Amino acid sequence: MLDIKFIREQTDLIRAAASKKHLSFNVDDLVACDEKRLAILRAVEDLRAKQNAASEEVQKADAAARALLIESMKQVKDELKKKEEELETVMKEWRALMLAVPNIPDMTVPEGSSDADNVETHAWGEIKEYAFTPLDHIELMEKGDMVDFERGTKTSGFRGYFLKNDAAMLEMAIWQYVMQRWQAKGFTPMLVPSLVRRETLLGSGYLPQGEDDLYKDGNDYFAGTGEVATMYYHADEVLDDLSQPKKFIVWSPCFRKEAGSHGKDVKGLVRVHEFYKCEQVILCEASHETSVSLHEEIRRHAEEMLEELGIPYHTVINCGGDLGLGQVKKYDIEAWMPSQGKYRETHSASYFHDFQTRRLNIRYKDTEGKLRYAHSLNNTAAATPRLVTVIIENYQQADGTVKVPDVLVPFMNGKTVIGKAFRS
């Protein structure tokens, strides 16, 4: 959410933001609604002032004058009730429009309408040449007794799965590795709720636009990322100091309907409804320079992790049409998938300025004691089982077994090879 004063003063900038993000938002509708809101609000305040003044006069007046005053105020009372009802109606429209205002993308965000227009910034690692025909993770894991899709579908429906044996241990090894790695970098580790109230998703910007992709039960939702609960952790609070950013590394189960992705990755573990994420979340002072610096930092943290795992990747800047409503700028980091012969997204790093914190009312006192809205950022640290598939495909061996990346061996009780040999 942006400041209404800023919106009214920068309508051309809002139009440009909506155009660059390929969103259908008419800022003129909001300005007209705001004019109406302010006019009714002034009328309500005037009528309340008349009512208060009359109440004081009634207390001082004699019986005859009091009766006349009370009678004369009935009309004011009726008019006030009517205006308050009008205000309530226009406020609903105003709030809905305010929630649809797009944040202003950074000037470095490229033009484009979809992820096909994202721009590569750099690539790391050599694409491995195999002396054998590489298999996809589905065959490697099924034949290695590491996954059961048939019983997964029987149990939870489309995209259901059971991770078993070495794959289950590998996934938990990734979580331990990530949580310890980020804690050593000064991030506070937390396990956060997945079942959240609607307000948490409105505050972090996932509603109302993302409703179709969320599982829900009444007013409770199952979040698609730990960022949602973590951002709400400090909702409606005033933080004493953000000269040192608050950094969190959080773990949570995640749920997404994958609405609109029918026909994409219908087999395997790349796109599933239930998964797990370790997420980086940061609150910092209201400084563009600080946000940019921290954005580069969390991007680099994720890249370094892939390098430690020995996974080839490339990083792209997301174009305007591939940005969310609240994002100022986003990087996607995409890891190499041998079976597909292309990079697949494993991490997304975004910063929002005060878009989320205004919705969530997260403020802090600056060095002059002035209250300001914090800035927020987030980036995936690891999403599983997708990262499991990346490791299994890149580390597959000729006999069908899979080598464990060196950095994960300590979290696998020293095990260096997983799966089963099923071919010569």
271, 274, 287, 339: which is the annotated catalytic residue? 271
Is 345 in the active site?
yes
In 3D space, the residue among 343, 346, 345, 338 whose CA is nearest the CA of residue 402 turns out to be 338
Distance from CA of residue 69 to its chain's centroid? 56
37, 181, 256, 358: which is the annotated catalytic residue? 256
Strands 246-255 and 188-191: parallel
Q: Do residues 124 and 314 lie in contact, with contact meaning Cβ atoms separated by under 8 Å? A: yes
79, 84, 199, 345: which is the annotated catalytic residue? 345
The alpha-helical segments, DSSP class H, found in 107-215 are 137-143, 149-156, 165-183, 198-204
Phi, psi values for residue 378, rounded to 5°? -155, 160
Is 48 in the active site?
no
Is 348 in the active site?
yes
Q: Which residues, in sequence order, are bridge partners of residue 372? A: 364
Rounded to 5°, the CA angle 7-97-214 comes to 125
Distance from CA of residue 221 to its chain's centroid? 14
CA distance 231 to 204: 7
The pair of structure tokens assigned to 244 is: 């040192």
Is 256 in the active site?
yes
Is 79 in the active site?
no
* H-helix or E-strand spanning residue 119: strand 119-124
CA distance 87 to 40: 6
Q: Do residues 252 and 191 lie in contact, with contact meaning Cβ atoms separated by under 8 Å? A: yes
In 3D space, the residue among 397, 285, 379, 294 whose CA is nearest the CA of residue 331 turns out to be 379
C-alpha distances (whole Å) from 394 to each of 127, 280, 309, 361, 403 are 9, 25, 10, 44, 9
Question: Residues near 385 by Cβ (< 8 Å), separated by ≥ 6?
Answer: 161, 163, 167, 171, 269, 272, 275, 276
204, 348, 350, 376: which is the annotated catalytic residue? 348
Catalytic annotation, residues: 256, 271, 345, 348, 386
